[in-house]
Amino acid sequence: MRDTSRPLAFGPAARAVFDLSLDGMVFSRRSLLMALLVAAPVAFAVLYRVLSITHGTLPLGPSDLYALMIAIYWVRNVLPLAALFYATSLIADEVEGRTLTYLLTRPLTRASIFAGKFAAYLATTFTLALPAAVVTFFVLMTAPSAPALGPAAGDLLRDLGVMLLALVAYGALFGLLGVFLKRPVIPGLLFLYGWELLANLPGYLPRLTLTAWLRSLIRHRPAEEGISGLFQQVLPSDQSLAVLLVVSLALLGAAAWIFSRREYVLEQ
């Protein structure tokens, strides 16, 4: 018999919150929109194959197109956006829907609630992004003009890992913004399309961004125009991995700590 005077253990509590949150996240209008955005490269890849049959050799090779999708479309733009829209709303949605009370009055620690919700966010975004990347890779890299599949497959595994890491790192950051700020989306967008541009500057400034560390982990470097093409730095891979993991853990810890201590006043 469980001691009802004490909250549920962290693991089972987080799992219960995960189960509860997953349905709401996977089958939502937000997921439908994100699925369209995240899976768009699959459509581009199919279109590319059709065009390569009807028009012969295209100016952009299949591996170049795949590199663009990974480096520019997913890692730089869409995955951070997906993280922004999901992770900022982990707690904000409960506050807005005035349902947070129901969670907080259960015998669960607040850290386990945050952990369960973050795990549900990761499961949802992985479900949307990873199959799209795998399908895009095989559609493009099996084109007749594509290089050998074997060596490129190593990049696929690396790319999937970097996509996971991007969702974890940006999710941790925006999760923190979500528990800390009342309206976190605008600061999040400013971070993505303002602060993250520091990654294109020379010197040490790129080290203050997440995108510089993430793009250093992928091999694809599509040619870029302007200042980003001029100064783009590739940081050491081992450092990049360590920095991203440490930053993600620190941000998640901070988010869980703030959520555990913050008092939420629901508007009547």
Partner 1 sequence: MTRSRLVLIAAMTVVGVGVIAGVGALWMNPARASVGPLAGEALILPKDSRFVMGFDVKRFTSSPFYERFASRDGLKPEALSQLEEKTGLNPYRDIDEIVIAGSPGGRKGAPGLAVAFGRFDLYKLGRSLETDGKATGTSHEGLTVYAFGDGDRDLKRGGLAVAFLDQSALVFGAKDQVLAAVSSRVRNETPLKDNTALMALVEKVRPGSTFWMVGDQSLLSSLPTSVPAPGASADGAATMTLPALTGLTVTGDLDPQVSLAITGEARDALAAKNLADVVRGLVAMASLQAQQKPELQQLASAISIATEENRVLVSARIPYEMLEALQPKKARAAEATSPKPHISR
Chain contacts with partner 1 (rule: CB under 8 A):
19, 22-23, 25-27, 59, 61, 64, 67, 123, 126-128, 130-131, 134-135, 137-138, 147-151, 153-157, 160, 202-203, 219-223, 225, 229-232, 234
Q: How far apart are CA 173 and CA 247, in angstroms?
A: 9
| HSE-CB for 219 with a 13 A CA cutoff | 13
- The tokens for 24 are 């709401």
User: What distance lies between CA 247 and its chain's CA centroid?
Assistant: 14
From the CB of 18, what's the least distance to partner 1, in Å? 10
From the CB of 57, what's the least distance to partner 1, in Å? 8
Find, among 203, 252, 199, 192, the residue nearest to 221 by Cα.
199
From the CB of 191, what's the least distance to partner 1, in Å? 25
Contacting residues for 188 by C-beta, under 8 A, at least 6 apart: 84, 88, 174, 177
Find, among 68, 118, 80, 264, the residue nearest to 182 by Cα.
264
Residue 88 vs 232, nearer CB to partner 1: 232
Residue 51 vs 153, nearer CB to partner 1: 153
Amino acid at 95: V
From the CB of 267, what's the least distance to partner 1, in Å? 29
Residue with structure tokens 């890992």? Answer: 161
Residue 221 vs 262, nearer CB to partner 1: 221
From the CB of 73, what's the least distance to partner 1, in Å? 15
Residue 103 vs 130, nearer CB to partner 1: 130
Contact 149, 141 (CB under 8 A): yes
Residue 223 vs 265, nearer CB to partner 1: 223
